[in-house]
């Protein structure tokens, strides 16, 4: 893995972006080979498991985590959950597991998947954390309002999921034993 890291650094130099790459936090990998010059968390070398070094930090200087994407990042939105939750847990599960919709298991372990992602905390036993629905709703709408350095996609702010889908996801998570 060390060798690969050096390789990426060398590629960055060849691509003439050394000035940018030098500014990057040392625990972030810069993949100059990808189309959009993607940033990756640094894997823990030779750990024998899929494990990343701590990477939750403020990367807002790098718009959409990409050097070449010039679209401005939308500001974090603080939202209020209005009225009853009125969510459908069964529907929420379908949205969470659907790679074209929530795709939550790309980053989270959830009951019912063979192997979830490790980018975020496990959601197994979620209901026992005792969070209010409003907090979970805000987290899915835009986690950055709670933690400015969060890498979780702002599903509400970015218009990835409509309000009802987020209500259904909250109902699903709050049912996880
Ligand atoms: C790209 C990775 C990624 C995806 C995709 C993702 N999350 Fe997250 N999620 C995270 C990370 C990282 C955190 C920790 C955020 C922090 O540090 O503030 C998190 C935190 C959370 C939390 C708070 C957990 C707690 O105990 O405080 C919830 C709830 C959550 N995510 C639900 C979801 C749901 C539902 C989806 C799908 C709609 C989803 N996440 C998709 C990365 C992701």
Domain ranges of the chain: 2-65, 89-173
In this structure, are residues 63 and 73 in contact, taking their beta carbons and an 8 Å threshold? yes
Q: Is 60 exceeded by the pLDDT of residue 83?
A: yes
Task: Output 17 or 105, whichever has higher pLDDT.
Answer: 105
**What CATH number belongs to 89-173?**
1.10.760.10
The whole-chain average pLDDT of the chain stands at: 79
Q: What number does the ligand 1 atom closest to the CA of 146 have?
A: 18
User: In angstroms, what is the span from residue 152 Cα to ligand 1's centroid?
Assistant: 5
CA pair distance 177, 171, nearest whole angstrom:
12
Q: What angle do CA 91, 139, 64 make, to 5 degrees?
A: 105
User: Residue 157 — left, alpha, or beta (φ > 0 → left; ψ -120 to 50 → alpha)?
Assistant: alpha
pLDDT over 70 for what percent of the chain? 69
Q: State if residue 93 touches ligand 1 by the CB under 6 angstroms criterion.
A: no
**Each residue's pLDDT tens digit, 119-161:** 889 999 999 999 999 999 999 999 999 998 888 999 999 999 9
Q: What is the pLDDT of residues 4-43, one digit of tens each?
A: 444 444 443 333 333 455 566 777 776 666 665 566 667 7
Residue where the block lists tokens 């629905």:
133
For residue 114, count other CB atoms closer than 10 A to its CB. Answer: 5
Single pTM value for the model: 0.72
> What is the structure's pLDDT at 95?
96
Q: Are 77 and 157 in contact (CB under 8 A)?
A: yes
């Amino acid at each position: 893995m060390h060798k690969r890291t050096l390789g990426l650094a060398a590629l960055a130099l060849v691509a003439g972006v050394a000035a940018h790459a030098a500014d990057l936090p040392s625990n972030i990998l810069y993949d100059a080979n990808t189309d959009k010059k993607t940033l990756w968390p640094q894997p823990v070398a030779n750990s024998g498991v899929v494990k990343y070094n701590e990477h939750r930090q403020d990367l807002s200087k790098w718009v959409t985590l990409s050097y070449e994407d010039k679209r401005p990042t939308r500001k974090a939105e603080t939202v209020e959950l209005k009225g009853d939750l009125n969510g459908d847990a069964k529907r929420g599960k379908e949205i969470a597991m659907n790679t074209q919709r929530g795709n939550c298991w790309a980053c989270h372990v959830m009951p019912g998947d063979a192997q979830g992602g490790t980018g975020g905390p496990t959601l197994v036993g979620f209901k026992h954390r005792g969070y209010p629905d409003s907090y979970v709703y805000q987290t899915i709408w835009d986690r950055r309002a709670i933690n400015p350095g969060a890498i979780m996609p702002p599903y509400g702010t970015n218009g990835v999921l409509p309000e009802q889908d987020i209500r259904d996801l909250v109902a699903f998570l709050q049912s996880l034993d």
